Amino acid sequence: MAEEERERLGISPEVRDCIEATSDCYTACAETLNYSLHQVGGIPDLRHLRLLIDCSEACQTTESGMLRASELGVMLAAICVEACEKVAESCRQLDPSDEQLAMCAEVCDHTADCCRRLAV
């Protein structure tokens, strides 16, 4: 779809970035949830698991809203910022040396940045 066509549908480049970021972030959080449930021999950190579910759902709903230029876009972006910030912090706190958690935190940082631009 040509750029002007996207614009006509209300999808600006900033929104497009946000769509890609939330899509990736959904995948990262869902994957990290599975990873965190499998932590060998340990009792999983419940708040961490809950935040990962929160964030994956917030990203899914936000991506979907952005794709149809929803009137709720700004509110959805604001929830995404909140969810992503919490997950990034939780990942770094739990184990700063864990590769999967570090990757997840990074994806969340990027998504929060993209959504913050729209949430203002």
Q: Which of 15, 21, 51, 107 binds a copy of itself (CB under 8 A)?
A: 51
What are the b/e assignments for 57-96, b being 16+ CB within 10 Å? Answer: ebbbbbbebbbeeeeebeebbbbbbbbbbbbbebbbebee
Number of residues that bind a copy of itself (CB under 8 A): 49
Of 7, 14, 27, 93, which one interacts with a copy of itself (CB under 8 A)?
A: 27
In the complex, what is the shortest distance from the CB of residue 51 to a copy of itself, in angstroms, rounded to a whole number? 7
Q: Is 94 in the site for a copy of itself (CB under 8 A)?
A: no
